[in-house]
A and B are shown apart, each in its own frame.
Chain A
Amino acid sequence: MIVVEKDYILQGTCLYVRLPEELDHESGEQVKRQTDRVMSENHVQSMIFDFQRTMFMDSSGIGMIMSRYRSLGMRKGCVAVMGANERIRKILCLSGMHKIVAMNEV
């Protein structure tokens, strides 16, 4: 297990990302930049997004997850979500993300 930096942990080829309290336009861009950097320096095959402390998300968060899914090759199960509260789950479902992102397995 390698702690790449705070909130980004690499285990084998799986990158665990602890998301911020609010996942919006600004913080979504930050997560995108950080994960891009980890991916450029390591072999990453899947990502787990931990929503445990996230209380707010808008469509910028959806865009961020979609783009990570694309850059990981759009393979089934390459992106997983954990710790999402009811509100976050509602937003993920509203945008169809539950069809491409593993939401219960983690």
Chain B
Amino acid sequence: MTVMGNANEMMIEFDGRPSNEGFARVAVAAFCTQLNPTLEEVADIKTALSEAITNAIIHGYEGEVHKIRLKCRIENRCLYVQVCDKGKGIEDIEKAMEPLFTTKPELDRSGMGFAFMEAFMDEVRVESAPGEGTTVHMKKAIGR
């Protein structure tokens, strides 16, 4: 990604531990304040981000601790969020995105992760290949 004009970017990398999810949510919420979002918009972003990170920890790394990279970009009143893991990847992305579908019912997963991302963001795109990890791209327009 190249920065041009009014764009602003940040990137953080952290261990894929459940205890870091709250940290990542706060980091993104703080970063996007420059767009002067409503509380509702901030809550939407935090929820969607939380889903993507939980997925990386539970499904990508299956509980092992490896790095998760979070990139955010602000451009033209839009927030772009990327959550990237180098975990096991997703075999069937379309299936994974179906509401209530989960590969881990034994862990009491609701299967609502991608549905929440889609409900709270304007765009969600998933790049993944088995053995190569997963990157979730999300976009949300702020103040529209």
Q: Is there an interface contact between B19 and A26, defined as CB atoms closer than 8 Å?
A: yes
* Nearest CB in chain B to that of A55: its residue: B43
- Shortest CB-to-CB span from A52 to chain B, Å, is 17
State the majority secondary structure of interface residues on A: helix
State whether the Cβ of A89 lies closer than 8 Å to any Cβ in chain B.
no
- Flag if A24 contacts B116 (CB, 8 Å): no
- Is B142 close to A, CB under 8 A? no
Partner of B21, one of A24, A91, A94: A24
Find the B residue at minimum CB distance from A86. Answer: B40
By the criterion CB–CB under 8 Å, are B108 and A25 in contact? no
Given contacts A24-B22, A94-B119, contact A59 B108 (CB under 8 A): no
- Measured CA separation A66–B105 after assembly (Å): 11
Q: Is the CB of B21 within 8 A of A66?
A: no
Within 8 A of B (CB), among A42-94: 56-60, 62-64, 66-67, 87, 91, 94
Q: B140 near A: Cβ within 8 Å? A: no
Q: Flag if A95 contacts B50 (CB, 8 Å).
A: no
The binding surface of chain B is classed by DSSP as helix
Neighbouring A residues of B40 by C-beta, 8 Å: 87
Query: In the assembled complex, which residues on chain A have CB atoms less than 8 Å from the CB atom of B107?
Result: 63
Residues from 41 to 58 in B contacting A, C-beta threshold 8 Å: 43, 46-47, 50-51, 54, 57-58
- Contact indicator per residue, chain A 17-29, by CB within 8 Å of chain B (1) or not (0): 0000010111001
Is B112 an interface residue, CB under 8 A from the partner? yes
A56 adjacent to B108 (CB under 8 Å) = no
CA gap between A58 and B50 in the complex, in Å:
7
Structural contact, A22 and B22, CB atoms closer than 8 A:
yes
- Asked if B18 is at the interface of the complex by the 8 Å CB criterion, the answer is yes
Give the complex CA separation of A32 and B56 in angstroms: 21
Nearest-neighbour CB distance to chain B for A60, whole angstroms, equals 6
Contacts of A67 in B (CB 8 A): 108
Contact present for A59 and B43 (CB under 8 Å): no
| CB of B113 within 8 Å of the partner chain | yes
Confirm or deny: B109 has a beta carbon within 8 angstroms of a beta carbon on chain A. yes
Neighbour of A59 across the interface among B18, B46, B116, CB < 8 A: B116
Whether A62 pairs with B112 at a CB distance below 8 angstroms is: yes
B110 at the A/B interface (Cβ < 8 Å)? yes
CA distance A59 to B108 in the complex (A): 10
Give me 8 A-to-B residue pairs in the complex whose CB atoms sit less than 8 angstroms apart, sorted by A's number: A24-B22, A25-B18, A25-B54, A25-B58, A56-B46, A59-B112, A63-B112, A95-B115
